[in-house]
Amino acid sequence: MAREPVDLFCSFRSPYCYLSLERIETLEVRFEIDLSIRVVMPLAIRKPDYFEGQPPARFSYNRSDVERVAEFVGMPFQWPEPDPVVFRTDRPRKTADIQPHIGRLSRLGIAAERRGQGLAFVGAVGRLLWAGGDRPWDKGDRLNDALAQADLDLATLEGDVSADPAGHDLQIKMDGERLDSIGHWGVPTLAVRGEPFFGQDRIDVFEWRLGQLGIAGK
């Protein structure tokens, strides 16, 4: 019997993607699903002016909410250093032209997914960025070591990206368009049969829908 295809749309700048990790990692164990990782660029990259139009309370609330959710679900949490997305110093809510981190991580995520290791990569990088380990996360062998702990080889993934950079960028673009096509814009979003479930607080509702669709669970 074929497993039900499910998409997980995620980015490496979303703390909520990290905070949903442990629950999402159990989905393929508990349900007869085939989970595909869809890496999208953060909203700050897709719409560079987006955050400049947001009310100040959004940022203070978001920060306190993320820290509260981390405490609630019992996951270690620390804001990443450096931020995976670089913002301008003169306009701190607008993204910089040069982005040394998020493009690299996103392409590597595509490479891992193509090798059937997408969720392992998302888990390894999510914990490296957000779980409060050694800082700065981008120096030395920290990325390599985090991936190795998840049985991923950084050199192999980088070789895949180098061999086809345009193809990896195209896949990121297509994943973003796929998210648009099902009627959402944010991450983490789980989708089954074209129906989106946005946010770490909708995983239970997503599981309920799987049951409604007759997808076997344990």
Q: How far apart are CA 86 and CA 97, in angstroms?
A: 8
The closest alpha carbon to 190, from 77, 76, 64, 33, belongs to 33
Tokens of 90: 């003169």
Please report, for the chain, the start and end positions of each structural domain, with discontinuous segments joined by +.
4-212
The per-residue pLDDT for 65 is 97
Contact 28, 120 (CB under 8 A): no
Decide if pLDDT at 1 tops 70: no
- Mean pLDDT (the chain, rounded): 95
The pLDDT > 70 percentage for the chain reads 100
Quote the pLDDT of residue 38.
Answer: 98
Span 45-91, pLDDT tens digits: 998 888 888 888 988 999 999 999 999 999 999 999 999 999 999 99
Read off the pLDDT of residues 100-154 as tens digits, 9 standing for 90 and up. Answer: 999 999 999 999 999 999 999 999 999 999 999 889 999 999 999 999 999 999 9
What distances in angstroms separate CA 72 from CA 26, 57, 65, 79, 134, one per listed residue?
18, 22, 10, 17, 23
> What CATH number does the domain located at 4-212 have?
3.40.30.10
Residue 218 scores a pLDDT above 90: no
**pLDDT tens-digit readout, 14-30:** 999 999 999 999 998 99
What burial class does residue 125 get, using C-beta atoms within 10 Å of its C-beta: 0-12 exposed, 13-18 middle, 19+ buried?
buried
Distance CA(140)–CA(112), nearest Å, equals 21
The single-letter DSSP state of residue 39 is E
The neighbour count for residue 198, using CB atoms within 10 Å, is 19
Show the CA angle centred on residue 168, arms to residues 98 and 36, nearest 5°.
Answer: 120
pTM: 0.95
